[in-house]
Structure 1
Amino acid sequence: MSVAETVHATCVVVGEAGLLIRGESGTGKSTLAREMLLHAGREGRFCRLVSDDRTRLAAHHGRLLASAVAPLAGCIEARGTGIVKLPFEETAVIRLVVDLCEDSSRYPGPEDATIILCGVVLPRILSRRGAVLTDLVLGRLSGVCDTVVTL
């Protein structure tokens, strides 16, 4: 039996890897998603919006699947502009979670490196709102920056 829930999050897929971006309203979820789409597209990588604001999560065969809530499919917020329609994918397999918060530690500890959602353990980046993350996230999604060095 799969575990499912709807969460306040945004999701994009880059290549075959889904990115789930979580955070309170105004922390930059939609902005990071749009930056990911722009930069991945410029690199010639497949990239699409999956969901914005409300994301349906479901565990299936040990993987976490994300999809849009029906009325919001293909819609993303552009702060100061409104809702924008974009091409979208119906579902993505989540490979990385980014949690945006008001304040995070300068050097997150090992306990911050993963998170469990719907019973699935996933790698996570914990960062403060407004941090420039696009290159780091794209690197993690392509396996370039998979390790964290602890001194």
Structure 2
Amino acid sequence: MARAAEAGDDAGGLTVHASCVAQAGRAVLIRGAAGSGKSGLALRLIALGAELVADDRTRVWRAGDQVMADAPDTIRGRIEARGIGLLRLPAAGPRPLALVVDLDGSATERLPPLRETRIVGAALPLVHGSGHAHFPAAIALYLRYGVLE
């Protein structure tokens, strides 16, 4: 049910191969293999009102009960748009993670079971990627309002 922890997880923090955006002060960590669509999903969420936290590499660490996410300084405010190039956007700065999207998994169930994953020792809700057109909107609404049921 839960995905194995990232290699190197510990309370001291780490840098993960993932993109991250935030909306309403809550962030989603978008992870997956190279070419899986992390930046593409992040761009769609930004177009829906999210802020860029980090693209392709995200620093995560514990701050009390929360897992925080931010961009490494070398890539802050930059996101790749395939076929266009690097875009410069305002950087959101550190934001608490509320959700993890795993693009390597595929959501095939209409109402999938609740899943979680551990990041730097903390449990976070996990959803698998979906090719449905509404997927970015559902993630944006989750960040704004939601609790998965």
Q: TM-score range by the shorter chain?
A: 0.7 to 0.9
Alignment of 1:107-118 (within 5 A): 107=109, 110=113, 113-118=115-120
* Matched positions, count: 138
Residue number in structure 2 paired with 1:39: 48
Separation in 1, partners of 2:38, 2:60: 17
Residue number in structure 1 paired with 2:106: 104
What is the RMSD of the two structures over their aligned residues, measured on CA atoms? 1.9
Contact 2:27 2:96 (8 Å CA) reproduced? yes
Residue number in structure 1 paired with 2:143: 141
Task: Name the TM-score, length of structure 1 as normaliser.
Answer: 0.83
Separation in 1, partners of 2:57, 2:29: 11
Residue number in structure 2 paired with 1:78: 81
Contact 2:22 2:143 (8 Å CA) reproduced? no
2:123 is paired with a residue whose SS is strand
Q: Which amino acid aligns with 1:58?
A: W
Q: CA deviation at 1:126?
A: 1.0
Residue number in structure 2 paired with 1:18: 27
1:50 matched to 2:53: yes
Q: CA deviation at 1:143?
A: 2.9
Separation in 1, partners of 2:15, 2:86: 20
- Which runs of 5 or more structure 1 residues have no equivalent in the other structure? 41-46
Residue number in structure 2 paired with 1:69: 72
Identity percentage of aligned residues: 33
Q: 1:144 to 1:93 in 2, by over 3 A?
A: closer
Q: CA deviation at 1:105?
A: 5.1
- 4+ aligned runs moved over 3 Å, structure 1: none
Separation in 1, partners of 2:16, 2:146: 28
Q: 1:36 to 1:109 in 2, by over 3 A?
A: closer
1:124 is paired with a residue whose SS is strand
Contact 2:78 2:89 (8 Å CA) reproduced? yes
2:145 is paired with a residue whose SS is coil
Separation in 2, partners of 1:105, 1:48: 25
Separation in 2, partners of 1:71, 1:90: 13
- Which runs of 5 or more structure 2 residues have no equivalent in the other structure? 1-9
1:138 is paired with a residue whose SS is helix
